[in-house]
Amino acid sequence: MIPGEISHYFSLCGKQLHRNAIFAEQHRCLMRYFALFSFVLCFYLLKAQPDSIPSPALPEGNTDILEDFLQNTDSEGVADFNTLFESLNDYRRRPLDLNRADEQDLRDLRLLNDVQIAGLLLHRQIAGDLISIYELQAVAGFTPDIIRAILPFVSVGGSLDDYRVSIGEMLREGTNELYLRWARVLEPQRGFSPPAQPGENRYLGDPNQYYLRYRHSYGTRLSVGLTAEKDRGEEFFRGSNPSGFDFYSAHIALRNYNRTIKALVLGDYAVSFGQGLIMLTGFNYGKTISTVAVKRGGRTLRPYTSVNEVLFLRGAAAQLALPANLEITLFASRTGRDGSVIQADTSDLDPEFREISALNLSGLHRTPREIENKNAVVQTNGGASLKWKRNNNHIAFNTVYTHLDKTITDRSQLYARYYFAGNQLLNASVDYGFALRNFHFFGETAVSDNGAVAALNGLILGLDRRADLSIVHRYYARDFQTLTGDAFGESSGVRNEHGIYMGVELRPVNGWTLNAYFDTWRHPWLRFNADAPSSGYEYRLRLTYVIRRKLTAFAEFRQKFREENFRNNETVLDFLTQTQLSQARFHVSNQVSKTLELRTRFDIGSFDDGAGTMSRGMSIYQDVLYKPIDSPLSFSTRFALFDTDGYAVRFYSFESNLLYNFSIPAYYNRGSRFYFNVRYRPTRALTLEGRIAQTYWANQKTFGSGLEEIQGPARSQATLQMKLQF
């Protein structure tokens, strides 16, 4: 049904460009932006001196996992994206030695799936160390394209005396990076206007956003950093922030310092145990088009360098190697968390007996109420993990304790009956992973202190050189409770879900890849927007064709069926109906030359709410990426058109942005999206970047809602960034 509607949506798109005078004026405005930047481009191409060292770029294939994360979580940017692939830049300077890397190191690359990691470790165990990088062609799962992708970040036969490098030498020989960034929405927003009547809510700060980040690193061995950020609407050097920025983060981290100290972190950090049932901070993804990349893992400890004000711990942590193939990880954390404090009837109540209704996750402190909730709760965490590992096998025992200085009260909603309430929580788990030839088994079983159980078990199987299979079964009891877990599943929270996932990757002939997965689940208790036990299933297929260094094209189709409350229900008790989301995507990336790349994408979709309303939509965009080899100036730009019946039919599209700054907006309503990025690198030490982006809604008189509302159909944002490396 959906492919048959393509001509209909193209017709709508064509009519849109001529039926609306405001939309036409918008295009003229965008062309003026383009002309201005074209003039700047020509000027610098003629005048500037080139720099021969290219800037690091995010591998294109990895952008899919970010789009998938937002699609699956119905979100628009809560996750910790900004420094997700920061380790790639570290490995570019000091490549990872494949002969010494363990499973955590290989997973830290974020470029290899579980079949490839298990295959490499098994190959080393049987055949010994690699002699050449191209010996990987004999390892299961490694294709020439994969080898070329990891080539800038890995080596074979690194130095044998890395453990002898002192901290002083790391400080002298390391790299320093300083980032300064400014961003602002150009149109006036309601939150920054004078209140229409006394007492009306408004932002207390100005509309500028500031970001500062300094980091000293020696590959992945040493990291010393400071990060600071002020969001739009937050006060700066006054009011609630007399010391400047609203958020500060700092760390000192060592990794593989010697054969005993595997990792040591002071300050802000992230921790990952097992499959994330009881402890996982930072960003991790679930169902993606990398259909066999379903195992959580990677480095147990890592320094925290992002600006998400929730997904981190603050204190100290250490990972130590012990005799008999044992490894122990210990951490302690104490940090403030935002919470909605329940106003007591009397001010005489002892603060430790005050209650909160929920922990807030936004990290925004712009209004008096948001400032009141800032750091309203002190969260203390402690935990340990004892792991036995040998080759590619391990078993670990984990425990995490959480204490809040205020009590989370029971929620009134029936679906939240089994949510955590109280001020302390204890979790414990056992996780494992072992390989048997081309079978890789993994899993974790956890318990919370109310006796509820959560379990996840999986299998990744390399069927042959052209086929891989993954299976994941999950059982999360409705009353399982954790405040620090984040595991694979359809919904967040590691609770109230039973399901099974099956994924496959086929490479029938060179250049062609077929990825597919099927996931089915049920929720034994109520959930938000489902006032009865519910179920659902989803499937997805993508066929990809690649001509090495020239062309990447894929066609994709996905459908999701999920039970939710009947929208037009008029009975005493809500009843459920099955909703259906269908989407198709066509994408072509063409490397026209060494300096010019063109990317084109077309999305089409529909949503049936089960109540007789069908919403439809489409989007199309064209990207131009220009990166000359002999010039310090490069740019990327996009123009997108979209026409949907609302937010229910939305399309997430990764956008090229400034270094380590991701943008993944949802395209919905009827309108256009435009951005232009320019990067100027006159020397190896200095990179200057600018970006202007605008979203226009042709069918809306205002943009946004609440204090973010703009009196007009467009929202424009300008961003400037400087990176200094020395």
Which tops the pLDDT comparison, 128 or 50?
A: 128
Rounded CA-CA distance 401/427 in Å is 6
Q: Give the pLDDT of residue 392.
A: 80
pLDDT class of 296 with cuts at 50, 70, 90: confident
What pTM was computed for the model?
0.85
Rounded CA-CA distance 494/183 in Å is 36
The tokens describing 249, both together, are 């983060």
Any idea what DSSP says for residue 57?
-
Q: Are 244 and 236 in contact (CB under 8 A)?
A: yes
CA separation, residue 257 to residues 170, 344, 389, 419, 655 (Å): 10, 51, 19, 41, 38
Query: Would you state the CATH architecture of domain 96-161?
Result: Orthogonal Bundle (1.10)
Give the start-end residues of each E strand in 566-682: 576-591, 596-608, 614-626, 633-644, 651-652, 666-667, 670-680
Rounded CA-CA distance 643/400 in Å is 47
Q: What would the pLDDT profile of 190-242 be if each residue is shown by its tens digit? A: 999 988 787 788 999 999 999 999 999 998 889 999 999 999 999 999 999 99
Identity of the residue numbered 338: D
Q: Are 137 and 233 in contact (CB under 8 A)?
A: no
Q: Are 404 and 424 in contact (CB under 8 A)?
A: yes
Q: Give the pLDDT of residue 27.
A: 41
Average pLDDT (455-467) is 91
Q: What would the pLDDT profile of 436-445 be if each residue is shown by its tens digit? A: 888 899 999 9
**Residue-range domain boundaries for the chain:** 96-161
Residues near 164 by Cβ (< 8 Å), separated by ≥ 6?
A: none
Largest CA distance in the chain: 77
Average pLDDT (502-520) is 94
- pLDDT at position 520 over 80: yes
Rounded CA-CA distance 580/572 in Å is 25
Which tops the pLDDT comparison, 400 or 61?
A: 400
Q: What would the pLDDT profile of 71-113 be if each residue is shown by its tens digit? A: 655 544 334 455 566 777 778 778 888 888 888 888 877 778 7
Average pLDDT (341-356) is 55
CA separation, residue 422 to residues 44, 223, 355, 377, 403 (Å): 61, 37, 9, 13, 9
Three-state DSSP state, 589: strand
Number of other residues whose CB lies within 10 A of the CB of residue 323: 5
Which residue, 357, 350, 299, is CA-closest to 327?
299
Which tops the pLDDT comparison, 40 or 505?
A: 505
Rounded CA-CA distance 97/105 in Å is 9
Q: Give the pLDDT of residue 476.
A: 97
Q: What are phi and psi of 398, to 5 degrees?
A: -125, 150
Alpha helices in 190-349 (DSSP H): none
Residues near 344 by Cβ (< 8 Å), separated by ≥ 6?
A: 354
Straight-line distance from the first to the last Cα atom of the chain, in angstroms, rounded to the nearest whole number: 57
Q: Are 397 and 359 in contact (CB under 8 A)?
A: no
The tokens describing 574, both together, are 């809500």
Share of the chain above pLDDT 90, in %: 56
Rounded CA-CA distance 577/548 in Å is 46
Sign of CA dihedral 354, 357, 358, 364: negative
Angle between helical axes of 6-19 and 21-47 (0-180°, round to 10): 90
Which tops the pLDDT comparison, 284 or 488?
A: 488
Give the angle 385-120-284 at the CA atoms, nearest 5°: 45
